[in-house]
């Protein structure tokens, strides 16, 4: 175990100190210490504290207070810890309020939020400059990024495999107005200096993208060490092989923190908190000139968005994708609302009468 770690190196600052003081007022008088989740391994977490790295798990009381997967600790979270066995491991009693949350809907039909990472300052949206390159898919990642509260930055990796990198950069810049776009090559060590402003001391960045886009290679390249396993690009479809299987946080030599995440075969958006309008910013700007304030940009007269698409000022495919994504988010929001109503109704029907005193199960969960 590493001793005397400076948690400031992991992003601890005055803002977190204030949140810590507020959180302690909610808890009892026991002795607690702050720590940051550095790895999520299911039932256990790897946590970093001023005393070193150790394994942590949720207290029974805290676990029973959680109503959904989105409330569980995630990589990047600052948590409240009680040390056990002389600091050999820790028990997690709470999570400090997050300043950013990168999340998506879990795979399948379950209406649950899956947190990819939290308390991230910059989100690197990674796409390889080979057959993985897909502007329409990047629009979905941008919505997730804008909704998270983190600042999106697009990384176009494997520039050494691309003969028209500048054209693809221009295409991506057009689809992501105002978002920095960088083409990099770990193999040729090209572009690292452009990323230094995002990975300095106290900064936390996360990488997300489709499976095999080169995220683990980026982690190894930026850290200068082989922290993550990588595999070669497959022949035939130019796609890399999925290598990262869990979320993990690493310290970079520049002083920043980087979070690698498993690749996504499919990105199902969780909810929209203004991310759609930010990802399609030019459509939002054009909409201000529509005749009707509630214009849907489908068939209304006096629609400035449709006029721009007809004249070629706005890419028709981009408008189609805007409508498609908007419908998906509306459908997702309606399903979430129905699920919440069902959960609330079931809780009301099944709530037992309040017992006097504490059950023996409750007593055990408090320890």
One DSSP character per residue, 66-121 reads --SGGGS--TT-EEEEEEEGGGTEEEEEEEPPPS-EEEEEPSSS---EEEEEES-S
pLDDT value at residue 258: 92
Q: Which residues of 225-252 are buried (b: 16+ CB within 10 A; e: fewer)?
A: eebbebeebeeeebbbebbbeebbbbbb
Q: Give Rg (Cα) of the chain.
A: 23
pLDDT value at residue 84: 87
Could you tell me which residue, 301 or 358, shows the higher pLDDT?
Answer: 301
Q: Convert the pLDDT of each residue in 68-103 to its tens digit.
A: 778 899 999 999 999 988 778 899 999 999 999 988
Degrees, nearest 5: CA angle 62-67-70: 95
Q: Which residues contact 145 (CB under 8 A, 6 or more apart)?
A: 102, 123, 125, 151, 152, 275
Confidence of residue 184 (pLDDT cuts 50, 70, 90): very high
pLDDT value at residue 235: 39
DSSP string, 105-173: EPSSS---EEEEEES-SEEEEEEESSTT--HHHHHHHHHHHHHHTSEEEEEEE-GGG-S-HHHHHHHHH
Backbone angles phi, psi at 24, to 5 degrees: -65, -30
Confidence of residue 337 (pLDDT cuts 50, 70, 90): low
105 token code pair: 């809907």
Neighbours of 66 (CB within 10 A): 13
The pairing of strands 151-157 and 204-209 is unpaired
What is the distance between the alpha carbons of residues 358 and 262, in angstroms, rounded to a whole number?
42
Q: Is 4 a residue whose pLDDT tops 90?
A: no
Q: Convert the pLDDT of each residue in 311-321 to its tens digit.
A: 999 988 889 88
pLDDT value at residue 161: 83
Confidence of residue 165 (pLDDT cuts 50, 70, 90): confident
Please choose, from the candidates 75, 113, 63, the residue with its C-alpha nearest in 3D space to the C-alpha of residue 269: 113
pLDDT value at residue 280: 86
Backbone angles phi, psi at 216, to 5 degrees: -65, -35
The answer to whether 33 touches 56, Cβ cutoff 8 Å, is no
Q: Is 49 a residue whose pLDDT tops 90?
A: yes
Report the chain's terminal Cα–Cα distance, integer Å: 25
Could you tell me which residue, 51 or 36, shows the higher pLDDT?
Answer: 36
Q: Convert the pLDDT of each residue in 187-245 to its tens digit.
A: 899 999 999 999 999 899 999 887 777 788 888 899 887 776 554 444 344 444 444 44
Angle, helices 304-311 vs 316-350, to 10°: value is 140
Distance of CA 330 to the CA centre of its chain: 21
pLDDT value at residue 137: 85
Return the minimum-mean-pLDDT range out of 146-150, 333-337, 355-359.
355-359
pLDDT value at residue 130: 81
pLDDT value at residue 197: 93
In sequence order, what are the beta bridge partners of 180?
none
Could you tell me which residue, 105 or 288, shows the higher pLDDT?
Answer: 288
Q: Convert the pLDDT of each residue in 12-37 to its tens digit.
A: 999 999 999 999 888 876 789 999 99
pLDDT value at residue 335: 59
């Amino acid at each position: 175990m590493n001793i005397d770690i400076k948690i400031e190196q992991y992003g601890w600052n005055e803002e977190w100190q204030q949140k810590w003081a507020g959180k302690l007022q909610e808890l009892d008088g026991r002795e607690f210490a702050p720590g940051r989740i550095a790895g999520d391994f299911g039932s256990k977490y790897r946590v970093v504290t001023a005393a070193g790295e150790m394994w942590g798990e949720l207290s029974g009381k805290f676990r029973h207070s959680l109503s959904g997967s989105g409330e569980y600790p995630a990589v990047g979270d600052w948590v409240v810890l009680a040390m056990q066995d002389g600091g050999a491991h820790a028990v997690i009693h709470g999570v400090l309020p997050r300043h950013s949350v990168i999340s998506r809907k879990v795979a399948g039909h379950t209406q649950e939020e899956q947190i990819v990472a939290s308390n991230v300052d910059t989100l690197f949206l990674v796409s390889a400059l080979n057959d993985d390159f897909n502007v329409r898919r990047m629009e979905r990642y941008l919505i997730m990024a804008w909704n998270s509260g983190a600042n999106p930055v697009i990384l176009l990796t494997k520039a050494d495999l691309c003969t028209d990198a500048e054209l693809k950069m221009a295409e991506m810049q057009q689809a992501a107005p105002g978002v920095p776009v960088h083409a990099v090559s770990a193999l040729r060590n090209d572009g690292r200096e452009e990323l230094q402003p995002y990975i300095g001391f106290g900064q936390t960045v996360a990488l997300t993208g489709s499976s095999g886009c080169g995220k683990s290679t980026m982690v190894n390249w930026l850290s200068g060490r082989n922290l993550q396993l990588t595999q070669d690009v497959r022949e035939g479809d130019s796609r890399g092989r999925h290598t990262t299987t869990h979320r993990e946080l690493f310290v970079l030599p520049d002083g920043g923190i980087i979070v690698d995440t498993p690749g996504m075969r499919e990105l199902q958006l969780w909810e929209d908190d203004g991310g759609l309008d930010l990802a399609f910013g030019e459509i939002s700007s054009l909409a201000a000139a529509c005749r009707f304030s509630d214009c849907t940009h489908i068939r209304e007269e006096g629609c400035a968005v449709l006029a721009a698409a007809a004249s070629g000022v706005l890419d028709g495919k981009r408008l189609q994708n805007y409508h498609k994504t908007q419908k998906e988010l509306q459908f997702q929001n309606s399903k979430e609302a129905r699920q919440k109503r069902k959960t609330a109704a079931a809780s009301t029907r099944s709530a037992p009468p309040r017992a006097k005193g504490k059950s023996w199960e409750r007593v055990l969960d408090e320890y």
